Amino acid sequence: MRNYNFIKIYLLLLLLLIRPAVVSAGELSLNLIAINPSETETKEIDVKYYLPKELEPSDVIDSGQLRVDYDVDRAVYYVSGKVTFSPKESKTFKIRVNDVWMITPEEIAVLKQNMNGNLSLVEKNPDLYPNAKRESDKLAEQLDIILTQQQSYSENIERRIEQYRAYAGIVEKIRKKIYDPNFLEKEAQTEDDGDAGKTVKLVLEVQNPSKEEEKTVKHKHFLPEEVREEDIVDKQGFDVRFDEKKNKSYLSKEELFKPAESKKYEIVIKDIWRFPVAKLDPMEKRAEAAIEEMKDSAYAESGQYLYESLIKQLKLIRDTQDQNLPPDQHIGIFRTNQKRYEDVKQSVERLEQMLAIVRAKKLEELEGSKVKNILKRLQALRGLQALSEAIFKKGISVTMTWRIIFGCIIFIAVFTTAHFIIWSRRSGRMADGIKPGEEIKVVPKPEPPKKA
């Protein structure tokens, strides 16, 4: 009997009514209701509620009489506690948490500002700027759509949380792109393929299961995982929701069907499954440049293998993308090509890593030759150093010192005497320009001029 009551209590706890409500700006209240099913007994019930996956302990402002703990198996936090209930008593537990299900306008403004900074890097390049501006405008439009949807569901917290989860992955990709300063420059090398206006039709059929009476049928149709609300051109009156567990958007509608009535709906969706083939050309050029530069290196063979493999993958993408296929096959080819492209991207990055090693070795060899020349010069300097040490640092005796001094004095005296004798002889012979053996002539004094 005790086990039976425990099961009843457990099942009732699974039916907890959780209604997020705004407490104040930036805060929400999660209302948890638990009930004692017994009409006669007072019971101590284990209350347990798993918190939404986005919450961390620091986001729980007030858990009331419940404590925050972590479930290792599920990898999520939860609140729990033993609470005494009177017969048939129900209690509401309010858990105040931070409103983490919002991409703030401030962050969106910062992302746009950073994107404008990246765009300015290619502003002076007329070949790259138009395509970079196109990609920048596309990202800005996505951010505006997300912000608008958040604002439209500001009064409906459940729907806003749904939308947050639907766009969480997309926003993370946008962040990575915008915070990469080279992203726009890379994307600018890809030409627009002109497929923006193309659409795909998904046909849905719903039938009243009863052939005898009218029924209100509530039907639900899951969409491909890539589709979000803004991608649907014609909803055919359906409401677009998001399923967190399946990570997919779905169409929901409730309407009256006549007996055995069937209805057909054509949902028009933007063709978001057309792979941008223009992205392949820059990848191929990067691979060609890398393999050409390292063809005579130790990585030539492995690099060639990677290069040939990625070229085959590129050819498969180009060949399959142009086929006119039914929607299901079209989506399948797109997903396959996405995987192929990721493989190509990894191969190109590996080639460039090999190239970086090759360049580093070349630089090392160049620097090594310079170092050898410097060492040779240093060796020569060491020889001179040894010679100078042998001459000047070896101790000299006092006798040797005086000999050197007297030798210098005698050398100077001899040199000076010889120089004086030679100078005096030349002076005597060359005085007044008279050559040796020539007579000295007397020059008469000039007579004064006669008077008239």
* pLDDT recorded at residue 1: 41
| Structure confidence by residue, pLDDT tens digits, 32-59 | 888 888 888 888 888 899 999 899 999 9
Mean pLDDT of the chain: 81
Task: Give the pLDDT of residue 129.
Answer: 87
- pLDDT at site 238: 93
Q: What is the pLDDT of residue 426?
A: 64
Do 135 and 182 have their domain in common? yes
As a whole number, mean pLDDT of residues 414-442 equals 61
Among 159, 176, 192, give the residue marking a domain's end: 192
Going by pLDDT thresholds of 50, 70 and 90, the confidence category of residue 180 is confident
- Tell whether 66 is covered by a domain: yes
pLDDT bin (cut points 50, 70, 90) of residue 23 is low
Mean pLDDT of 392-405: 63
Residue 85 lies in a domain: yes
Same structural domain for residues 280 and 384? yes
Mean pLDDT of the region 210-217: 90
Examine the domain organization and report whether 65 and 115 are in the same domain. Answer: no
Among 192, 207, 226, identify where a domain stops.
192
Residues 20 and 34 both lie in one domain: yes
Whether 401 is covered by a domain: the verdict is no
Q: What is the pLDDT averaged over residues 61-81?
A: 92
pLDDT of 339 strictly over 90 = yes
Give the count of domains, the chain. Answer: 4
Report the CATH number at residue 86.
2.60.40
Checking if the pLDDT of 342 tops 90, the result is yes
Please report which confidence band the pLDDT of residue 7 belongs to, taking 50, 70 and 90 as the band edges. Answer: very low
For residue 12, name the pLDDT band (cuts at 50, 70, 90). Answer: very low
Is residue 176 located within the same domain as residue 205?
no
Question: Across residues 218-227, what is the average pLDDT?
Answer: 92
Query: Average pLDDT for residues 247-261, to the nearest whole number?
Result: 92
Q: Are residues 384 and 279 in the same domain?
A: yes
Q: Do residues 329 and 303 both lie within one domain?
A: yes
Q: Is residue 67 scored above 90 in pLDDT? A: yes
pLDDT at 122: 86
Residue 399 lies in a domain: no
Q: Is the pTM of this model over 0.85?
A: no
Q: How much is the average pLDDT of 388-393? A: 55
Same domain, 186 and 213: no
Domain hosting residue 145, numbered range = 104-192
Q: Please write down the HEC assignment for all residues of the chain.
A: CHHHHHHHHHHHHHCCCCEEEEEECCEEEEEEEEECCCCCCCEEEEEEEECCCCCCHHHEEECCCCEEEEECCCCEEEEEEEEEECCCCEEEEEEEEECCCCCCHHHHHHHHHHHHHHHHCCCCCCCCHHHHHHHHHHHHHHHHHHHHHHHHCCCCHHHHHHHHHHHHHHHHHHHHHHCCCCHHHHHHCCCCCCCCCCEEEEEEEEECCCCCCCEEEEEEEECCCCCCHHHEEECCCCEEEEECCCCEEEEEEEEEECCCCEEEEEEEEECCCCCCHHHHHHHHHHHHHHHHHCCCCCCHHHHHHHHHHHHHHHHHHHHHHCCCCCHHHHHHHHHHHHHHHHHHHHHHHHHHHHHHHHHHHHHHHHHHHHHHHHHHHHHHHHHHHHHHHHHHCCCCCHHHHHHHHHHHHHHHHHHHHHHHHHHHHHHHHCHHHCCCCCCCCCCCCCCCCCCC
For residues 360 and 283, state if they share a domain: yes
- Whether residues 250 and 355 share a domain: the answer is no
Q: How do residues 279-291 score in pLDDT, each as one tens digit?
A: 898 899 999 999 9
Supply the Cα-derived Rg of the chain in whole angstroms: 47
Q: Is residue 191 predicted with pLDDT exceeding 90? A: no
Q: How sure is the predictor about 277, in pLDDT bands with cuts at 50, 70 and 90?
A: confident
Asked whether residue 330 is assigned to any structural domain, the reply reads yes
CB within 8 A of 153, min separation 6: which ones?
A: 159, 160, 163
pLDDT at 375 over 70: no
11 pLDDT band, cuts 50/70/90, is very low
pLDDT of residue 385: 56
Residue 423 resides in a domain: no
Residue 189 or 133, more confident: 133
Q: Are residues 6 and 76 in the same domain?
A: yes
**Residue at a domain's end among 177, 192, 207:** 192
Give pLDDT, residue 66: 92
Q: Is residue 393 part of a domain?
A: no
pLDDT tens-digit series, residues 259-268? 999 999 999 9
Residues 185 and 206 in one domain: no
* 310 is a domain residue: yes
